[in-house]
Amino acid sequence: MARSTRSKSLETRTKRFELKEGKRHNVTIGQGLILLYRRGAKSSTWYAKIAKGDGGYLLQNLGQADDHQDATGVDILSYFQAQEKARELALELKRNKGVIFKPLTVAKAAEQYLAWYATERKALKETTATINAHILPHFGERLASELATKEITTWHRKLATTPPRRRIGKFSKRIQEVVKVEATQPRKSTANRILTVLKAILNKAFQDDLIFDDKAWRKVKPFENTDEAITRFLTSAESERLINSCSADFRLLVKAALFTGARYGDLCRMKVSQFNADTRKVYISPEGKNSKGRYVPLSAGGLDLFREVCAGKVGTDFIFTRSDGSQWGRNYQTRPLKAACEQARIEPAISFHELRHTYASLLAQAGADLLTISKLLGHADTRITSKHYAHLCDKTLSSAVENLLPDFGHKPKKKIVAIR
């Protein structure tokens, strides 16, 4: 066994507590072999930096330092145990001609991130789809520790110029193909969202001490000025035309969406017990995308609709069903909504989710503030609400132009109303 290298600042936990958090401290323990220590707020970590034959270095996590717990010699190491393990790894590297046990790949980091995400965050399905479609095909087998800033930047910029993908196929088949668009607009917002997911995966691995350095992706900056949202919504007249063009059973669902701002899935699983005629409210259950349930007040028209639909039903019955009594299922709304849009001459046809946008937009134009709209929609805060509806809420600009700007000698013609 090689003789241990002494270090006054790293040998004892007492001395290590005097070191600054977040910084790396090192000591050379052999030719081409460095022992690194990184102190954290709750735990600290030992790393080995081993020289390779090509002039580069391999960084390897050795285990936690015995700052807060007694050393086990396996996953919690003292200073001298960390030295011994670093030398064993260096010997293995030499013995295997530069190959040591496989470090963390992006695919493995993504797998561990999703396992954490499933219990700590929402939108697991959407995040998983983003990872599978855009991150794993490009970075899956790459070692996370070997990613370079230039490589990530090039990938990020390419995402912004790649045409959108579309699902095709019969019934439940979800085959994806690239849609060829003659004049494709740069998809910078989409590219930024995908970059955020990649950074989240790598940051989680870095925080768990599975990657030594985060500089490579931290230097990659998202595209600027891409957050302006384009929100499609119907006018009151268009909404009425759409309602009148719907089949009888689907018409009730469309009306409910416009009266509550609820998502299609919220309405499909809504039961009679969730409607309270006395309080004039419906309860949106916390399933699906929402983490918390919410009560939505109803207007006079909305109250009348729910009273009519719930009449004669018991609390466990679904409020909205199809004409044959069966429950509305996934994607059942697509065809009837497309047909209604064609008949109502709404072009291009809207999605069901844009009825939710219509609900919020009409409230904003009527003078509702962002906080009110945010609570009605069930948003966690007003950031997403502001992104979509702030321009509709602010009447100050229109009022200033209308009342303060001179007419420059141009006199508007008076409207002549014919007497019938």
| Dihedral-angle region of residue 6 (phi above 0 means left; psi in -120 to 50 means alpha; beta otherwise) | beta
Q: Distance between CA 339 and CA 343 in Å, rounded?
A: 6
Which positions ≥6 away from 267 have C-beta within 8 Å? 253, 256, 257, 260, 319, 320, 328
pLDDT > 70 fraction of the chain, expressed in percent and rounded: 85
Domains and CATH numbers, the chain: 13-95 (3.30.160), 106-218 (1.10.150), 236-400 (1.10.443.10)
Lowest pLDDT segment from 73-82, 171-180, 190-199, 362-371: 171-180
Q: Distance between CA 103 and CA 151 in Å, rounded?
A: 19
The full 3-state SS of 374-402, as one line of letters, equals HHHHCCCCHHHHHHHHHHHHCCHHHHHHH
CB 131 within 8 A of CB 204: no
Q: Distance between CA 40 and CA 20 in Å, rounded?
A: 9
CB 276 within 8 A of CB 366: no
Once rounded to an integer, what is the mean pLDDT over residues 277-293? Answer: 79
Length in residues, the chain: 420
Q: Distance between CA 85 and CA 60 in Å, rounded?
A: 11
| DSSP reduced 3-state for 238 | helix
What is the per-residue pLDDT for 305? 95
Once rounded to an integer, what is the mean pLDDT over residues 11-23? Answer: 88
Checking if the pLDDT of 156 tops 80, the result is: yes
> What is the DSSP code string of 160-227?
HHSPPEEEE-STT--EEEE---TTPPP-HHHHHHHHHHHHHHHHHHHHTTSSS--HHHHTPPPPSS--
What is the per-residue pLDDT for 5? 87
CB 202 within 8 A of CB 109: yes
Q: Which helix (H) or strand (E) holds 92?
A: helix 79-95
